[in-house]
Amino acid sequence: MKGFKAMDLVTRVENQIESEQLLRPGDSIVVAVSGGPDSVALLHLLFVLSGRWGWNLTVAHVDHRFRGDESAQEAEFVRELANRLGLRSEIAHLDVPRHIRETGKNSQVAARELRYGFLHQAAASSGASRIALAHHADDQAETMLMRLLRGTGPSGLTGIPIRRMEQHVELVRPLLRIYKSELLEYCHTHQLAYCTDSSNLETKYTRNGIRLDVLPYLQQFNEQLPQALNRLSVMMSAENEILDSQTHSLFEQYVAVESDFAEWSRNWFAGVHVALQRRLIKLILNYLSIESDSMDFLKLEQLRDAIVKAEPSNLRIDIGSNLILTREYDRIKLHTYVVPAGPYRYSLQRYQSELTVPETGVHLECAWFEGTLSASLQAFDKEGHCTVWFDADELAFPLTVRSRADGDRMNLFGLNGSKKVKDIFIDAKIAPSCRAVTPVIADALGRIVWLPGVRRSSVAPVHEGTKAWLQMKLHTKEGSLSPC
């Protein structure tokens, strides 16, 4: 009977992958493996299915250095597990305690920040388009209860998403409808060894307290509480999706937006359902790169009330986060304190070594190389948001460094056609104050090749045959490699 259930789990997971379109045939996938039973079961399940799906699996593990020898042993266990399966592995030993000391963040936030950063690096190095995570149905139930206790709104009750795009890689959770007991049984049936994390028993961590104390207590009143919480998550995800769709539709039809402000009619807004009013305010704040999720309910209601009330017809409210609400008769405007720089335009010639934009304090440093560079780009600084490499022979000179103009568009890697520069800023959550000082760099053909500190275009990438190399670096007046 146990063998039948274990084999049935393979079928259920495969059906989940197909129905949700989590993975596709031939995908390259990074599998996050901690060494615990959940991630070991996930890896084994995907390995079993990879034969007929043609997946290329890479095992990724992070040693957070929280538990000394125990953490090191887990890392070695995962390495050996990957070797036995004939899979490539990437093991990171990250000094999370040091990161905590330097940033002041709590241990869970700091660990997650570094862990996900490494997973994205592993995806980039292996050419993976997806990262598979081992969150399961019990994790979902714990998350739902944690959010309820903190006073979450409807969108928070969607729980952990089964899929989510992050930095152009999709995070997928094939086990989100599977319970821990089923995963433990699967490991037992297939004689899969796994590690036990001693810190999972420490109730000083909120999630552990929920799992070990709160959930068992509440199950006295409803034995099926985890299942009920998971059903609630599924229902709220569907309802949240339709409400989000309606909110975006209203936003696109009735809200006029620019990089640093949004404007709309008070009379129109007052006639919108209150649930959509709240969502519209949050969407507008997100558009302006203000973290609306950090705004508590009372502050959100104060803002909504100031918008919808009939009097006074003119007002100005400083609502914090560098944002002002103004109203002139029927027109409502949310805008930042930012005073945009005046229009500017400079030429950058081939072999020019630097250029400063006095209007914004931005400084561009250029380095030129001829011939074949040995050992590829590994000998140089890695390309990032503030450093970029071009094949100089594929650019049309002179380059132009200018202020942003309405209608600007840029071609991006992996995207057919072009995308509005305004939308690139929004998607990257670039604050309005940063948008105002970010120059646009275009070549003589009018192609935008780089938004320093934000994104580069698909124009003139370096390759094995590159003979003329241009490296550009962004510096700001503060001296950091960041536009803000």
pLDDT at 299 exceeding the cut of 50: yes
Helix (H/G/I), strand (E/B), else coil: 184: helix
- pLDDT at position 64 is 79
Residues 215 and 363 in one domain: no
Q: What is the pTM of this model?
A: 0.67
Residue 271: exposure state from Cβ atoms within 10 A (0-12, 13-18, ≥19): exposed
Residues 57 and 188 in one domain: yes
Per the domain annotation, does 445 fall within a domain? yes
Give 376's pLDDT tier (boundaries 50, 70, 90).
very low
Count of structural domains within the chain: 3
Residues 63 and 141 in one domain: yes
Residues 328 and 359 in one domain: no
Per the domain annotation, does 242 fall within a domain? no
Q: Which of 384, 358, 482 is nearest to 117 (CA)?
A: 384
Per the domain annotation, does 141 fall within a domain? yes
Determine contact, residues 331/263, Cβ cutoff 8 Å: yes
Residues 67 and 158 in one domain: yes
Per the domain annotation, does 446 fall within a domain? yes
Residues 58 and 201 in one domain: yes
Give 169's pLDDT tier (boundaries 50, 70, 90).
very high
- pLDDT at position 275 is 94
More confident position, 482 or 283: 283
- pLDDT at position 431 is 61
Determine the structural domain holding residue 417 and report its residue range: 345-475
Residues 216 and 277 in one domain: no
Per the domain annotation, does 65 fall within a domain? yes
pLDDT at 39 exceeding the cut of 90: yes
The CATH number of the domain where 43 resides is what?
3.40.50.620
- pLDDT at position 31 is 97
Residues 188 and 219 in one domain: yes
Query: What percentage of the chain carries pLDDT values higher than 90?
Result: 57
The CATH number of the domain where 350 resides is what?
3.50.40.10
Q: Which of 309, 336, 363 is a domain's end point?
A: 336
**Rounded-to-integer distance, Cα 227 and Cα 144, Å:** 11
Determine contact, residues 425/411, Cβ cutoff 8 Å: no
Q: Which of 278, 307, 336 is a domain's end point?
A: 336
More confident position, 97 or 1: 97
Q: Which of 226, 244, 263 is a domain's end point?
A: 226
**How many CA within 13 A on the CB side of residue 35?**
21
Per the domain annotation, does 131 fall within a domain? yes
**How many CA within 13 A on the CB side of residue 69?**
0
Name residue, tokens 């049984």: 185
Residue 152: exposure state from Cβ atoms within 10 A (0-12, 13-18, ≥19): middle
Q: Report angle CA 350, 351, 353 to the nearest 5 degrees.
A: 120
Q: H or E element: which one contains 60? A: strand 56-63
Residues 125 and 159 in one domain: yes
Output the CA torsion 267→272→274→276 (10° steps).
-130
Residues 214 and 279 in one domain: no
Residues 64 and 113 in one domain: yes
pLDDT digits (tens, 9 = 90+) for 233-252: 999 999 999 999 999 999 99
Q: H or E element: which one contains 91? A: strand 88-93
Residues 8 and 112 in one domain: yes
pLDDT digits (tens, 9 = 90+) for 391-402: 999 999 999 999
62-78 average pLDDT score? 85
Least confident of 54-68, 107-121, 207-221, 331-345: 331-345
Name residue, tokens 């120059």: 439
- pLDDT at position 378 is 43
pLDDT at 414 exceeding the cut of 70: no
296-311 average pLDDT score? 87
**Rounded-to-integer distance, Cα 295 and Cα 281, Å:** 11
